[in-house]
């Protein structure tokens, strides 16, 4: 910058956007190099931004070369509508742009909206039409939330309580004066409780919160708080309601996955169930490879149960990491492949929600005219800032100057 000419400030909006785009592309380059040609799962959700444009966020979930499960944000794209066909088209465009192959997808994770999980016309079905091994898992947190709400609405005391809360919110929430009176009374009661030693003081405790209506689909819903207080209510949760939210394929696949667990010296290990799991991935395990897998599994289970490094492991994440560290992934490649396939099945979509939370910081009311491309570049560099900070200035500089013809060429 000290050697630049007087009219070369690099501060114009267009230049600044080109620089951010260069950083974003270099960040994605690191992510895709880490992924390589391996299998991955996609997590997708859509939400409107501050200018009421529908945006779809895409996350890739895969196991890296160190055997560590990672989830990376790869982009957000504007969709004209949220139909399954539009979402599928947007995903195809992003895959084409970044040279990703739909044939490498081995899992799908959504929040359960009908346009996502529809059995025949949903995004899940459209992707499985091209790749039957891209198994869909309805977000576990979302399923549990919906089950709790459905069961709660069948409980007389809970229904009565929320009817009362709804009336209180309507009466108090509609008036600033009533809100003020409510705050004052609440502050007096808290002060009395503190002086009597009934409640504790500390960082983050006794904070003033707003009054909100209960929600069915948000995990922060009041329903969960009430159920936590009413422990006895958990005894009457409708198990059929929970079971109905898992289809037959998902249930059987998850049962097979559980047999790979390393807990208690691989107590859940079941040879036939694990072989059955391989049948869910016909592109990766044909009849011959299933027989090879069977032989590997017999040697594998004897080996890991006698190996000190595998003692006390808590889950599949630890198992994959230790297999790479001990090079067992090379000795038992087909077993390790099954472990990776089990790991990349997306059981929750919280990371997508965090991407939308980040969007609120990037595209604010004062920046509501931000273009979709600039929004995407800013989000990639912000959400994946750990990777972004590791990129050299030189690589960003070369990417910046090679995107288009510049007046000055940097050495």
Angle at 369 between CA 365 and CA 373, to 5 degrees: 120
> What was the pLDDT predicted at 192?
87
Looking at residue 293, its pLDDT comes to 94
Cα–Cα distance, 404 to 401 (Å, whole number) = 6
Q: What is the DSSP string of 62-96?
A: EE-TTS-EEEEEEEEEE-S---HHHHHHHHHHHHH
The model's pLDDT over 357-373, given as tens digits with 9 standing for 90+, comes to 899 999 988 888 889 99
pLDDT score for 282: 92
Kindly tell me if the per-residue pLDDT of 374 is higher than 80: yes
Q: pLDDT per residue over 180-200, tens digit each?
A: 888 888 888 888 888 888 877
- Judged by DSSP in three states, 58 sits in strand
Q: Over 50: is that where the pLDDT of 231 sits?
A: no
- Lowest-pLDDT choice from 30-44, 223-237, 284-298, 307-321: 223-237
CA distance 66 to 343: 14
pLDDT for 377 equals 94
pLDDT band at 229 (very low <50, low <70, confident <90, very high): very low
**When comparing pLDDT for 270 and 227, which is higher?**
270
Q: Which of 63-67, 199-203, 222-226 has the lowest mean pLDDT?
A: 222-226
- DSSP one-letter code for 43: E
Angle at alpha carbon of residue 393, lines to 370 and 62, rounded to 5°: 70
Segment 277-314, tens digit of pLDDT: 999 999 999 999 999 999 999 999 999 999 999 998 98
Token pair of 235 as six digits: 């005894």
Looking only at the bridges linking them, the beta strands covering 40-48 and 54-63 are antiparallel
Pairing of strands 69-78, 105-110: unpaired
Neighbours of 358 (CB within 10 A): 17
pLDDT in tens, 69-85: 999 999 999 988 888 88
Higher pLDDT, 59 or 10: 59
Distance CA 268, CA 285 (A): 22
pLDDT-based confidence at residue 11 (cuts at 50, 70, 90): confident
Mean pLDDT of the region 51-55:
88
- 3-state SS assignment for residue 136: strand
126/123 Cα distance (integer angstroms): 5
Whether 223 shows a pLDDT value over 60: the answer reads no
Cα 61 from Cα 343, distance rounded (Å) = 9
Q: List the chain domain ranges.
A: 13-139+346-402, 144-242, 263-343
Q: What is the pLDDT of residue 219?
A: 46
pLDDT for the residue numbered 254:
86
CATH architecture of 13-139+346-402: 2-Layer Sandwich (3.30)
What is the per-residue pLDDT across 237-259, written as a single tens digit (0 to 9) for each?
555 555 665 566 678 888 899 99
Residue 262's pLDDT is what?
94
Task: Please state the rounded mean pLDDT for residues 261-273.
Answer: 93
Task: Calculate mean pLDDT across residues 334-361.
Answer: 90
Least confident span in 37-51, 71-85, 118-132, 369-383: 118-132
Mean pLDDT of 137-142: 75
> What's the whole-number average pLDDT of the chain?
83
């Amino acid at each position: 910058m000290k050697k630049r000419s007087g009219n070369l400030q690099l501060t114009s909006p267009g230049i600044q956007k080109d620089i951010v785009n260069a950083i974003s592309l270099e960040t994605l380059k690191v992510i895709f190099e880490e992924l390589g040609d391996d299998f991955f799962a996609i997590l997708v959700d859509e939400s409107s931004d501050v200018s009421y444009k529908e945006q779809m966020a895409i996350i890739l979930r895969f196991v890296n070369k160190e055997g560590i499960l990672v989830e990376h944000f790869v982009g957000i794209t504007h969709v004209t509508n949220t139909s399954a066909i539009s979402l599928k088209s947007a995903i195809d465009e992003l895959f084409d742009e970044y040279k990703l192959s739909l044939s490498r997808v081995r899992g799908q994770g959504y929040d359960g909206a009908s346009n996502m999980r529809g059995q025949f016309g949903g995004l899940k079905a459209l992707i499985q039409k091209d790749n039957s091994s891209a198994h869909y898992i309805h977000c576990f947190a979302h399923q549990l939330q919906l089950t709790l709400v459905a069961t709660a609405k069948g409980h007389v005391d809970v229904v009565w309580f929320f009817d009362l809360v709804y009336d209180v919110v309507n009466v108090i929430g509609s008036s600033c004066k009533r809100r003020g009176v409510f705050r004052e009374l609440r502050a007096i009661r808290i002060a009395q409780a503190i002086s009597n030693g009934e409640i504790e003081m500390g960082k983050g405790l006794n904070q003033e919160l707003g009054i909100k209506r209960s929600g069915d689909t948000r995990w922060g819903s009041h329903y969960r708080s009430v159920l936590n207080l009413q422990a006895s209510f958990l005894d009457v949760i409708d198990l059929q309601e929970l079971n109905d939210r898992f289809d037959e394929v998902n249930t059987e696949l998850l049962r097979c996955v559980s047999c790979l667990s390393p807990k208690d010296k691989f107590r859940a290990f079941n040879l036939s169930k694990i072989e059955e799991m391989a049948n869910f991935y016909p592109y990766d395990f044909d009849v011959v490879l299933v027989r090879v897998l069977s032989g590997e599994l017999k040697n594998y289970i004897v080996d890991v149960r006698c190996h000190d490094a595998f003692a006390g492991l808590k889950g599949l994440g630890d198992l994959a990491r230790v297999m790479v560290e001990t090079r067992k992934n090379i000795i038992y490649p087909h077993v390790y492949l099954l472990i990776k396939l089990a790991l990349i099945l997306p059981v929750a979509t919280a990371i997508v929600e965090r991407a939308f939370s980040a969007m609120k910081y990037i595209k604010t009311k004062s920046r509501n005219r931000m273009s979709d491309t600039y929004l995407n570049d800013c989000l990639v560099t912000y959400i994946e800032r750990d990777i972004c900070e590791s990129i050299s200035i030189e690589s960003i500089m070369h990417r910046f100057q090679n995107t288009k013809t510049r007046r000055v060429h940097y050495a």
